[in-house]
């Protein structure tokens, strides 16, 4: 079920992105040769006007083939290459814009239905409900790792050998309880994928730098609901707040990787995202909406990075062309974007390997 949900979410997000390119190309009178659902091999196709619409075997979003996007047809008035830098930039950035708009829609809908959010960010005047504490990270070589706790486990209860019980504890209660029971065995009851499980764990007497007594990071979430007119505004502000936060986190990640302070094990690839998608689904439809919105925002931010083969990299080439007054050579452009694509594939393979190792 996790794989099915992951494929469905990823397909919708990629399809939304490609629809942005598709409609922007049509709007700027650029010929679209093909719009495909899924990726080849092709199962079925029909041609309407000048565009072939295809249904393909691999259900991972879709693609759009725009005439002239690879430099051909520079003398054809309906080629991507022959259009002005502004028109081409509009087509390129349209995918990112559509992902942000889609995230806005998802978050607005979620806030109308009741969205799980960080409890610490909820104003007192709002009536939050369904408070719960979730594990968001488990550090290696810690009591939590030895007890097989995982990300997205919901903490239901803590208890000690003297009969002291914390039922549905808050983060503050958990931290105080663990501090009082360092070196003593305590029992934790948690929910994982809808199942209830129990583990015995002994908080460390001495903690290493950057590691807690248990070795977990937690988040306390609660459900808030807004009237539709407030939900739309809240969805809008949350979209750009999340985009800004992800930009900042990505910048720190890249800078840390350059300095050798951050490894690839801190980045989620397809396997890690699939696992997180399944975990998000267990918290309900509204939570899943928020998670899908986050992925849509992440897709937009990553695509706008100024790296070859990404939309941001193509925008940089258009900007350089505007400064030079003429385009870069087609051969050079293809080599740079091809190299960038190869690097991205290698990074994806490496990150996927790290994802798999985390699950072993």
Torsions phi, psi for 71 (to 5 deg): 100, -5
**Which is the catalytic residue, given 18, 184, 220, 321?**
18
Rg (CA), the chain: 24
Judge whether 69 counts as a catalytic residue.
no
Identify the bridge partners of residue 303 per DSSP, sorted by sequence position.
Answer: none
**Which among 224, 223, 225, 201 is positioned nearest to 213, based on CA atoms?**
201
CA 34-38-42 angle, to 5 degrees, is 65
Structure-token pair, residue 346: 């290698």
Q: Of 316, 300, 242, nearest to 21 (Cα)?
A: 300
In angstroms, rounded to a whole number, what is the distance separating the alpha carbons of residues 129 and 287?
Answer: 14
List CB contacts of 96: < 8 A, sequence separation 6 or more: 17, 20, 300, 303, 304, 311
Could you tell me if 218 and 229 are in contact, meaning their C-beta atoms sit under 8 angstroms apart?
Answer: no
Catalytic residues: 18
């Amino acid at each position: 079920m996790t794989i099915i949900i992951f494929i469905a979410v990823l397909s919708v997000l990629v399809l939304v992105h490609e629809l942005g390119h598709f409609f922007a190309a049509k709007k700027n009178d650029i010929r679209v040769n093909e719009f495909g659902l899924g990726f080849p091999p092709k199962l079925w196709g029909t041609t309407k006007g000048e565009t072939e619409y295809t249904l393909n075997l691999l259900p991972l979003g879709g693609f759009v083939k725009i005439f002239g996007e690879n430099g051909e047809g520079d003398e054809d008035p309906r080629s991507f290459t022959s259009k002005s830098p502004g028109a081409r930039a509009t087509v390129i950035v349209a995918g990112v814009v559509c992902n942000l708009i889609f995230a806005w829609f998802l978050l607005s809908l979620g806030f109308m239905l009741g969205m799980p959010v960080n409890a610490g960010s909820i104003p007192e005047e709002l009536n939050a409900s369904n408070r719960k504490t979730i594990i968001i990270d488990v550090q290696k070589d810690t009591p939590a790792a030895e007890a097989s706790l995982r990300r997205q486990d919901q903490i239901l209860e803590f208890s000690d050998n003297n009969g002291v019980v914390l039922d549905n504890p808050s983060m503050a209660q958990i931290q105080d309880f663990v501090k009082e029971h360092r070196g003593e065995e305590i029992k934790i009851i948690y929910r994982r994928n809808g199942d209830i499980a129990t583990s015995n764990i002994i908080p460390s007497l001495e903690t290493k730098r950057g590691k807690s007594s248990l070795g977990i990071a937690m988040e306390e979430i609660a459900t808030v609901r807004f009237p539709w007119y407030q939900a739309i505004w809240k969805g809008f502000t949350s979209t750009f707040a999340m985009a800004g936060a992800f930009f900042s986190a990505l910048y720190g990640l890249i800078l840390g990787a350059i300095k050798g302070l951050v490894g690839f094990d801190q980045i989620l690839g397809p396997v890690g995202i699939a696992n997180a998608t399944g975990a998000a689904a267990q918290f309900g439809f509204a939570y899943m909406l928020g998670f899908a919105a986050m992925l849509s925002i992440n897709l937009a931010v990553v695509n706008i990075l100024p790296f070859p083969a990404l939309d941001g990299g193509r925008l940089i080439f258009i900007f350089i062309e505007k400064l030079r007054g003429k385009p870069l050579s087609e051969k050079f452009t293809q080599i740079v974007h091809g190299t960038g694509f190869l690097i991205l594939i290698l990074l994806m393979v490496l990150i996927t390997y790290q994802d798999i190792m985390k699950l072993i």
